[in-house]
Structure formats: structure tokens, C-alpha cells
Structure 1
């Protein structure tokens, strides 16, 4: 059985106000080509399909056009997609009855039956091979929100609730599978030891809970397709527990990431191989600086000239970081003049003052955009500015729970 593992598409994302639809369209066209050429049995999309809980219509059209196109060229392909922390679980599941006709399974939430019994049937998906026989079972684990794993029958411990979901679902899968059938898990979570990019992944901290232990996925699981972290990586060095990463760089901190999908092959219950398929980058991201203004303008002057015959949509996005000795009211005008007729698209200017950020070689005092701060960090800074002391952990826990309640209300269709 061959599986493709991808995640963190973030359809509808904008980069400092600039639309990324062209880049997503190029990726999805490339992915359709890989499906056609390699003929996998299964496509796994491990969450954060959209960038927001209320994605633009164009982003939703991209997803559903892709699913229809994949089904038309590979009628036997099974697609399993789960909601991530950026997604609305309800929205992901809304068209599920229609998508099942296209052999696509959309799981956004964990549900419980009476007396606290996990509704495992809806989370266990048979994965047929080319012959039509069930070669594996998929354990679908969308991003688990506290309201889904705590309560009267489960208690108030979020991490313990997550552990119970994993234990019960794995037990149900082992009871259902026949000898020779693999168990494949797909999950959207932050696993302990994972490497996080500087300003892309939204924090998953709930109270004091953050990273989950890899021990949640015992040796009975042949492969774990993870989403959430944008940098491709193995968890604890294990070949079978992998983040494939995002298909495009979602921030300037991801410029050097290798963007890819994973081509996974299982023989019976055994994981045979995991190969990397590198995704061509449709649009480059460039970061120049931090440099003093004169040096920065000199570097900008050396950028390639605009080719009037080239596609504007393929011109690189540019972030410039400038070190100032004093305020420069016409800073943007100077930079934009230097970039006149250059083959780049300016999306961000970050100004830092010498002596505070770079005089001692320390970047920690550099200006930070609000979109680079997690809600918890922003709250902590506001508390310190208001009261003159660090916020205590109890207040942070209360804020985290309030934030979770607000996010859940926003996700209601």
C-alpha cells in the first residue's frame, strides 16, 4: 500500500496582507501530477487545511476543486483529511456526506456516545488497496480541543483526556483489524521534541499543557502522519512518526525549510519506506538585513531589474530589515524608490534601532509584529505594562481557557 502524507496547506493565507492563492494553486496542480504519476492508494491531509476558521470562498473552492480533480483522475484513491487547530471542525465536516461519494473522509471532531464511550467507528476508516481489499485502517485524530476530551465522564485533565482518546481508539482499531492489516494514524498535534518555526505555528498551549508524548502512538501503529509543525522532521528520530511540513513557506522564518510531501509504502503491517518528494517553490521569499540604512539601500540597488515579460505572480516576496540611528520619516519612500523597477514585491519593512537591538549583537530587542506573538505572549506583555510585574501562572491558565472558549464560539457554523 502506498500513501501520500501532506499537511498544513493553510489555504486562504495572506503574507502581511498579500494573497497566496497563486502559490497554493501551483502546489495543488503539482500534487495532482504526483498523484497521477505515482498512483498512491491513499492521500492523508493532516490538518490546518485552511488558515482560518472562516476561510475565504476562493480557498474553499481550491480544496473542493482539488478533491474533484483527484477523484476524476484516480477514482480508487481514498482521501482522509482532518481538522487542525486553524480549522473549524464543524466546517471541515459540513460537506462530508457529499465528499464520501468522492472517496474522501473529512473528520473535524471527536464525539462521545452515552456513558462516555468514544464514538470510535467514525474515526476508523478502512483503507483499500488497488485490489479493493482493506489493507489498512486509518485512525483519524483531528486537533483535540479541551471541550472534546474533558467533561463529566472524562474529568478536567486535558492531557489525560487526550491519552484516553488515543488508548480507546487504538484498542478499537486493534479489535477491528485482521492479520496483515496496518494501522495508520493521522493526527494534528505538537509532539514533544518538535522544532517550531519562529512565527508561524499558532501555540497549542492550553493552561500548562503543550507538547504531547510520542508514547501515545505505540508500536502497533505502523505509521503516524502528523500535522501542525511546518518544518519536516521525525519525532524522536523515529522513521514511523513524521511531520511532512507545509507545502509553501508560510512566513519569512521558513525561507530555508525544504517543502515536501512524503511517499509512504507499507507491506502488510510493516513500514517499508518513506521517501521525500520535494515541492517546487512557485514564489521565492527574500529577506535582506538587518543592515544600516545606507548598506540596505545599496543591496536593494543590486537586485535584478524587472522583466516586463515575466509573470508578476512569480516575483519574490521581499522583507527588509533596517537598523536606524534615528527616526526616518521617509523610510518607506526611500526603500520603495530603491526598489523601483526591481523584480520583487515588498511586503514588510522592519525597523530596529542601533543600541537597543544590535549594539551588543543581541537580536532580542528587535521590533516584533503583533502577528509574531502568540495570544499568551501578547497578554503577558500587556499585563506587565499595566501592572509592572509578571503575570502569575494561575492567571495565564484562566486566560488560556477564556481564549479557548472564544475560539470555539467563533467556529460555530
Structure 2
């Protein structure tokens, strides 16, 4: 059995002010081709299908168009989708009666029976080949408080959830059948993106789940979502994040996008490999180290000329701010005219000046010259002395106020 593991599509995401629908369409066309070439039997989507719990009509259209096309082109393909923290679990599950006709299973809501007990069986999905159950998938969506058995904290509750599910699947599986798990969580020892809010756990480190949860005898692979960098967890080859198909921020510009391919032979893992996808839009971050505006303008002049398209590179400019420059953005936008890049982010860097902190009395405060105070603030903020013309203007304002 061949399985493809992907996650964190974030359909509908805006890269700063730019839509990414066309990028997602390119990825989905590539994914359809990959599934066909690899003769995939199962597609595992480990959460964050959409970037928002209330996705736009266009985002939903792209999603359902992909599902219809990929199942039409691959009639025997089975798809398992779990909800992530960015998804609305109920919205994702709503079309289940229709999707099940296409051999698509969506798990977003942790259901409970009439007694209020968790319906663990609903999260156990048989993976079929030629009409026969070949393996089992523990399909766990992103777990919110109240979704897991009672425990003293979140991580222990999640661990208990997987323990119970593993025991339950053990009661129904045949010895020749493998077990896989899915999850949308942050595993201890995994690497998160720098300055990327979409990956941050809601309650910080308390939400980290130990990868030891997945150290089970018959658990041959764990397909994780939530973190955008493709990686194995704490050296565990069989516990992996697929990563996002598109970089979600400039912090992710050097990540390798793609999917994980898993091949099962009866109840064991036969093959595990990475299939890379080349993101259609390049992320440029210039220069390597922050520089003053004049040097930034020189860097811009070196960029290639051309017409802007939906796949033109996104540009981040790192600017060293040593003094106020009200016309900075205007100068940059003028310099970018005719350049084949899309300005996404201006990242200001202000040098840290040394500041001596001391306590002063009210009487001492009244004796301080306002100009000297302004000069001190300017130096601490920009790391340099206030320009003479600015001092003259400020002094004239002070004199007018004092009259």
C-alpha cells in the first residue's frame, strides 16, 4: 500500500496583502500528478486545510475542485482528512455524507455518545486496498480542551487519548494489518519557524506532546501536521511532519516543501521517502544584513525588470533606520516601478543604543532642557545623534511654546 502524507495547506492564506489561490492551484495540480505517478492508495491530510475557520467561497471552490478531480482520476484512492487548529471542525465535516461517496473521510469533531463518553471508534478508520482492510488509521484532529479524557494537563490528556485509541485498534485489527496515526499538534523536540504566529501553540509549552506517545509496537508511521518545516521528531524516523506546501512567512523561505511517501508491506514499513515540490513563488529577503535606505535603493536597482504576475517573487526589505525618514516608503515604491517583484514587507531595524537608567526627582525633572531630552530619546532609538536641522526645528517649536 502506498500512502502520501501532506498537511498545512492553509488554503486562502494571504501573504501580507497578496492572495495565493494561484499558488495553491499549482500545488494541487502537482499533487494530483504525484499521486498518479506513485500509484497512491491513500492520501493523508493532517490538518489546517484552510487558513481560516471561515474560508472564502473561492478557497472552498479550490478545495472541493481538487477533491473531485483527484478522486475522478484515481477511482481507488482513499482520502483521510483531519481538522487543524486553523479549521472549523464542524464546517470541515459538514459535507461528509457527500464526501464519503467519494471515499473521503473527514474527522474534525471528537464525537461523544449519549452517556457523554468519547466515541473512540469514530476515530479509527480502516484503510482499504482492493476492497479489503489493509491497515488502520488512528485519525485524530486538533484536540481542544474537552476533546480528550480527563487529565491534569493538555499534554497528558492528548497522550491518554492516543493510548486509548491504540488499545482500541488493537482489539479489532488483524496481526497482518499495520497501524498508522495522524495528529495536528506540536511534538516536544520539534523545530518551529522563527516569528511565525500560525505555528505557535495556544498555551505555549504546555501544549507540547511527547513523541513517546507514538512509540508503540505496531505503529508503523505517525503523520503529523501543525509545524511548517518538514522534519522527523526527536530522531524518530517514523514520526514526521510533512510541512506546508507553500512557505507561510519569510522565516520559512529556505524550507523544502513537498510530501512524504510511505509504502507498507503487510504490517511493516517498507519504504519512506520525501518527494519535493518547488514552490512557484520565490521569497526574496534583501539585503542579507540591514542597510540604510540609500543602499537599499541601490539593491533595488539591481533587481530584474519585468511585468508583475501571480508568480512574481515576494520581496522583504531589511532597512537600517538611523533617523526618521517620512518619505522612505515612497522612495522605495518609486524605485520598484518596473521591477518584477512584489513588495510584501518592510522590516525596519533600529540599532540599540546604550542607555543609562537612573532615578530623578520631580524637581530635577523640571530643570531638564526639553531639547536635551529629545536628543537623548533620539540617540537611544536610532543609535546616532540628532541631525542639526532637526535640532533647529525642534528648538524653534520649544521657543514658541515657552512664549
1:162 and 1:25 mapped to 2: Cα distance? 34
2:101: which partner in 1?
101
- Alignment counterpart, residue 190 of structure 2, candidates 191, 194, 202: 194
What are structure 1's unaligned runs of at least 5 residues?
A: 358-364, 368-413
Checking the alignment, whether the CA contact within 8 Å between 2:107 and 2:139 is kept in structure 1 is yes
> How many residues align structurally?
353
Of the two, which has the highest radius of gyration?
2
Check if 1:185 corresponds to 2:184. Answer: no
Q: Is the 1:352–1:366 contact (alpha carbons within 8 Å) kept by the matching residues of 2? A: no
Q: Distance in 2 between matches of 1:41 and 1:142?
A: 21
Alignment correspondent of 1:341? 338
Residues 118, 168 of structure 1: 8 Å contact kept: no
Q: Deviations over 1:358-404 (max 9, x none)?
A: xxxxxxx999xxxxxxxxxxxxxxxxxxxxxxxxxxxxxxxxxxxxx
**Cα RMSD, aligned residues only:** 1.9
Structure 1 distance, partners of 2:381, 2:5, is: 37
Q: Does 1:216 align with 2:213?
A: yes
Question: Is contact 1:288–1:319 with CA below 8 Å preserved after alignment?
Answer: yes
Structure-2 change in CA distance of 1:111 and 1:321 (3 Å): same
1:116 to 1:206, Cα distance in 2 relative to 1, 3 A: farther
Residue in structure 2 matched with residue 10 of structure 1 by the alignment: 10
Deviations 1:13-66 (A, max 9, x none): 001121111111100011111112111110000001100111111111111111
Distance 1:301 1:356 in 2: 31
**Which deviates more, 111-120 or 162-171?**
111-120
- Structure 1 position 286 matched with structure 2 position 293: no
In the aligned structure 2, how far is the partner of 1:42 from the partner of 1:366? 56
Deviation of 1:160 after TM superposition, in Å, equals 2.8
Q: After TM superposition, give the deviation of residue 204 of structure 1 in Å.
A: 1.8
- The offset of 1:339, in angstroms, is 1.1
Q: Secondary structure at the match of 1:222?
A: strand
Deviations for 1:294-320, whole angstroms, at most 9, x for unmatched residues? 2111111101111x4xx6112101111
Give SS of 1:250's match: coil
Change (3 A) 1:356 1:259: farther
Q: Any idea what SS the aligned residue of 2:146 has?
A: helix
Match of 1:145 in 2: 144
Any idea what SS the aligned residue of 1:185 has? strand
Structure 2 portions without partners, runs of 5+: 355-379, 383-403
Q: Partners in 1 of 2:86 and 2:337 — Cα distance? A: 37
Structure 1 residues 315, 366: closer, same or farther in 2, change over 3 A? farther
TM-score, length of structure 2 as denominator length: 0.84
TM-score, length-normalised on structure 1? 0.82
- After TM superposition, the structure 1 = structure 2 runs for residues 185-264 of structure 1, keeping only pairs within 5 Å, are 185-200=181-196, 201-206=198-203, 209-217=206-214, 218-264=216-262
Please identify runs of 4+ aligned residues in structure 1 that moved more than 4 A: none
